[in-house]
Structure 1
Amino acid sequence: MGQAEDRGTGARIRAHRRAGAALALLGDRQLRQLLHTEGESGPAGVGGRAGTLEIDGTRVFVKRVPLTDLELEPAHLRSTANLFELPGFYQYGIGSAGFGAWRELAAHALTTHWVLDRTYPGFPLMYHWRVLPDTPPTGFMDAFGGVDGAVAHWDGHPAVRRRLEALGRASHSLVLFLEHLPHTLADWLHHHPDRTGAPHLWAAEELARGARFMEGRGFLHFDAHFRNILTDGRLIAFADFGLALSARFDLTPAERRFAADHRGYDRHYTAAHLLRHHLPAPHRDDTDPTGHLRRRLDGHRPADVPRPVATLLDRHAPTAVVLDDFHRRLLRESKLTPYPRAEIERAERRPGVRP
């Protein structure tokens, strides 16, 4: 960790102490009143809500995560087990409602610890959390035409129905009070339209660093698109852990195999997402996001591509194409489509590719 990064982390830790202490001193009634007056602004995740507030001079991001009756049973409090017995393919960020609020809380506890002990800075700090009564979420599956459409999207799996119906009856929320970072990476890149691709190369290298850190600790994000990644222009932070999976969770043997098979998923996903959606406008294809990658692999190399962009394309296009094909089959053919780990590993071995 460099000196500038170390100083930045120190300031963040001091804010964590101040805000955490101030929030912990509020009773539930006081906290609910604070949330009512300034802590809510819009939807977040599946059935959740989010907003910001200020306490003791610190800006705080607030996320409410629906907490189902099953998760509130005494035997299940704080459990990171797969309580709804959801299938492994529900981990993919293609419309999943996640595996439960307690897993999201546990993920934040892990990542906050990594920042506080200065192991790795690239996560938003969790200042505080609380379970509060709430109204059941509504309309959270409208994108699929309702619960029935969402279940059909997941190949009719009965556990998905149980999960979604339980969310629709949730009478409490897990309220997370998190460090506020001003931009999503998607917005930051959009507002920094450097045609040389230099900001994109910086982002790619920071994302790879963060993904490797998580990978080395048995932690998978599984939904690291750039609206779930935050930045202030100096720090890149992986956020929104609704689909996170950790080797330290209470996993079934099948889940442990699934996690082992997907080692490296976040690293490949973030690189592919950058190439498909966030390269400078002249060097991406919004109508066919993978088309320009396939053409490059076929030998099409325009002379006007800046060196940083060319570097990213050469490093990551082979694995990005494999991952895109997998996601297409997952959406169009079957949710049981096997993850192409061996094919991705072969793509990594192509000349010019840096994993």
Structure 2
Amino acid sequence: AQAHPPPVRLVLNLCDIERPRPIHRRGQGTFVATIVEGVDDQRDVMKAAYPLIVRSLANMVIYLTRVDGVLESHFITIEQGHYTVRLTDSEEAFFDQIYGRIQPLACSHLVINNDFVPDLPDNLWQGDETTRQIGWAGKKLDAMGLLPAAIPIHEYLSERELRHVKRLYGIGGLSYGNLSARALHNPAHFWMSASGVDKSKLETVGRDILLVTDYIPEKLMIRLSVPANVEPRRVSVDAIEHYMIYREHPSVGAIVHIHAWWRDPIPSTEVNYPCGTYELAREVAELVRQEPDPSRAVVGLKNHGLTITGHSLPEIFERIEGKIVPQVPMS
């Protein structure tokens, strides 16, 4: 039998900005960076470039523009990360920086597939005190202005492309932030918000909030216990990160992830790995481990946001009051 060639890990997709070409790759392991040349002196790069991520089915857009005559490469990620490399030295140094930005991301491993097991006990189909706390916490994030509007990807994609995005990235839409809390009935499990849902309206078990029961490393898959009477949504892509933290630290009772920053200096990851990758989860878990009290940690995710651990969701919100900065620093 003829051996299958190894999957392509990186595609550089050079496109016309007006007609971006979507890349329909075969698997989640292929990282696509779409490269476009924009107008000179483009000031609102995020607005010009972000739709190209979904229109070209990419993991990242590299948007080229000249500002005051200097070439700039703007890197835009699906998590709304935005950072810049400028050609101020030699071309060799410029391209070394570009390589350094792409290589770690392209070589990372997504853990976004879900194994839905319809075995959730009947008495949990309507939720419990923990799921109600998650719903309350979602409303708190909304009241604090920490839930950016979900990106309407259906406006940019055909039905076929939308199905492709869901299959590749394991998402039902693009929304930001997530919440989780350790399960009362089984401390080895935890409840977590779903992917692509309105975090201010977390109500239905299996659709808005899911029970994470295990991680299957050989399949890079998260196992979920769901009601038999609901068509489940995928859990947040950050489930692998939360899984690592809960497994190692029994005193952690809840975790909040937001796209904002901390008022005071905090430890932060060094590479802006994509959400849902094993590498990002491992780096965040290591920073939590290094904290004096891992059960009350505040860790920065480079160009992305915060992961905050606590004993409970109300305890976390009490601690963060007045300490959140809406703008995430980009570098």
User: How does the TM-score come out when normalised to structure 2?
Assistant: 0.28
Structure with greater proportional strand content: 2
Structure with greater proportional helix content: 1
User: How does the TM-score come out when normalised to structure 1?
Assistant: 0.27
